[in-house]
Every structure is written in structure tokens, then in C-alpha cells.
Amino acid sequence: MFLKSPPELILASTSRYRRELLARVYAPFECEAPGVDETRREQESTLALVTRLALGKARAVAARHPAAWVIGSDQAAVLKDSAGAEMVLGKPGTAERCAETLRNCSAATVAYHTGVALVRASDGSAYEFIDTTRVIFRELDEATIARYIARESPLDCAGGFKSEGLGISLCEAIESEDPSALIGLPLIRLCSVLRRVGYPIP
């Protein structure tokens, strides 16, 4: 049974991608920057990283709004080298770094780990989960990479591509349980958790 008046919902993020995703399934909600240090700790796995940051972001905002439910999320794109070591692909920021990232992704599989936390400070409630989506890239030559960056400029996206846009043309396949996860917020599982705490999502 849904609550008659669900408590305030806050997205602990300034990402326009996450804001647009959440707006697909629920409104109104607020957005607030969590102000959390996102530096990866020494020898920290990417799964541990996204779990820690998702919870840390949610708790940072929830501390300022104890009665609200707060969503925190973090995503890391991971490519394994020939020795099996993890290489985290961040947001490239520049066209040069984006090209370098896409060269590394050529004919490779990149795992996108997305951690999500939903917390409420007033009673200490917390729900956490992780989605992993795997992107298998086709072989990318220099001309393909240059054309793609020029047309889409995905400089603020982990791994340097947007699956919801032209970036889909760079893929051979995407292995996923939730197509929204790759964009930044796994809506299928999140909707389930939001319904569980009383939000009237169909």
C-alpha cells in the first residue's frame, strides 16, 4: 500500500543524465550536490568503490534532510588489461583523452558497474544494490573514433561514449538486465525499491 503523502525524494546528484532518468518514473523530486570526495582508495575494487560512493553521496545529503528519502548513485567503467588488472575509465573531459579511451575499448569488453543507495537518516533505513552491464565494442579505427567524437562529444560520460545516442553504433553487443543502467541509473530495480518504501510508481 502506498503512502498518502510520500516524503520528499532527493537525488544526491547534479548529473543531468540521472535527473532525466528519474524524471521518467517519478516527480516531484529535488536534486542536491552531495559534495563527496570521489577519489578511489588504494587497492579498492570498482565494486567496492561504487558501493561506497553511492552510499556516501546518499548519506551526505540525507544528513541535511533527515525526513527525506535520498538516492545516491555512482558508476565506474572498467576495462581489464592482458594481466587481468582493472583499468577504470573515467570521464575523458577532452577530445584527446576520449580518443585514447576509445582506442583502449576497441574490440574489448567494458563492464559498467552502477551502485545505488536509497537512505533515510531519520530512522537509519538503507537499501543498496549494484547493476553490472557489459558493453562489447567492435573494432574501432582512427577515422571512426574521430567521426564519433566530432558528432557526439561524449566528454562527460564514463568510458567516452553514450549508448543512448550515436555511441550505440560503436557496439557489437550490450549485455544488460536494465537498459537505463548504462545511462546512469538502473530504473527497474530502483522503481522496485521506491515502491517498497511507499512511492506510487506504476
- Residues 36 and 16 sit within 8 Å (Cβ to Cβ): no
Cα separation, 201 vs 2, in Å, equals 9
Residue of 74, 81, 131, 178 marked active site: 74
Q: Under DSSP, is residue 78 helix (H, G, I), strand (E, B) or coil?
A: strand
Cα separation, 100 vs 93, in Å, equals 12
Nearest by Cα to 145 from 102, 199, 202: 102
Cα separation, 149 vs 33, in Å, equals 28
Separation in Å, CA 118 to CA 64, 81, 168: 15, 33, 30
Continuous segment of H or E residues that includes residue 178: none
74 a catalytic residue: yes
Active-site residue list: 74
